[in-house]
Amino acid sequence: MTLDIITADSLTPLAHGFFTRHGGASSGVFAGLNCGMGSSDQTEIVAINRARVAAAMDLPAESLVGVHQVHSAQVVTLTGPLTDDPRPQADALVTATPGVALSVLTADCQPVLFADVQNRVIGAAHAGWRGALDGVLEATVDSMIALGARRDAIRAVIGPSISQRAYEVGPEFFDTFLAEDNEYARFFAGGPGDRLHFDLPAFGLYRLRQAGVSAEWTHHCTYSDAHRFYSYRRSTHEREADYGRLISVIRL
């Protein structure tokens, strides 16, 4: 099966993509292109999947770099392929170095790819609700500017993420956001009983635009399309033993 890659005109002509689960070698609950090294999938199979992604970016597998994601606002600035083992704990990467492919893994959280095409600076961020609330998107923008990007030239694209209709949360989650800013109530809609539905992509777009960059969402819901995407929440609801991880990549 061929790879299925979602791209955005605003990041063109840079090589980039939000990869779906199609075109991989994994089987079972991971069926498809599982790129999660932290999953219980076979290590050798994950390596094959990641090599296919790197080849699609016209790079060797070792040039596909990522971090140990921990739902933080930490950003790593790269001048070449990562050599650290273990990988640094962070949730975003930036570089101005050609030949390095920045990658993040997601399975409902927001994968966000950034580019200042004119000044040749790129970034990638993993932004779940915690990271987005704590400022990982703004930190990525600031780190790109430190490398020579211009704020008004940065374009950010949010890839496949869980949509509001599928993201049910409790009142304590709502209270966490209101403790930061009462205006954040706009990102919640009423659900059954005391439950609410949170609009993660809308919150990401808001934070990016408040940071002064142009931003868009691809409008793909990971939870609602099991054929195309992995979803942590869907796997939990279906009582599966584990779940695959989608990969999103950008390179100069």
Say which residue, 10 or 86, is predicted with more confidence.
Answer: 10
pLDDT at residue 148, as a whole number:
98
Please say if the pLDDT value at position 82 is more than 80. no
- With H, G, I as helix, E, B as strand and everything else as coil, classify residue 23: coil
Q: Rounded to an integer, what distance in angstroms lies between the CA atom of residue 189 and that of residue 118?
A: 39
Segment 209-234, tens digit of pLDDT: 999 999 999 999 999 999 999 999 99
Query: Mean of the pLDDT values across residues 81-107?
Result: 91
Q: Rounded to an integer, what distance in angstroms lies between the CA atom of residue 252 and that of residue 240?
A: 37
DSSP assignments along 99-110, one per residue:
T-EEEEEESSSE
pLDDT at residue 85, as a whole number:
73
**What percent of the chain shows pLDDT beyond 90?**
91
The pLDDT-based confidence of 182 (bands split at 50, 70, 90) is very high
Four-point Cα dihedral 148, 153, 154, 157, nearest 10: -160
pLDDT at residue 1, as a whole number:
65
Ordered domains of the chain (ranges, CATH) = 5-163+199-251 (3.60.140.10)
Q: Rounded to an integer, what distance in angstroms lies between the CA atom of residue 148 and that of residue 120?
A: 8
pTM of the full structure: 0.96
pLDDT at residue 81, as a whole number:
77
CB-based contacts of 232, cutoff 8 Å, min separation 6: 107, 108, 243
DSSP strands (E only) in 59-210:
64-65, 75-78, 92-95, 101-106, 110-116, 121-127, 155-158, 168-169, 188-190, 196-198
**Which residue shows structure tokens 């791209």?**
7
Please say if the pLDDT value at position 84 is more than 70. no
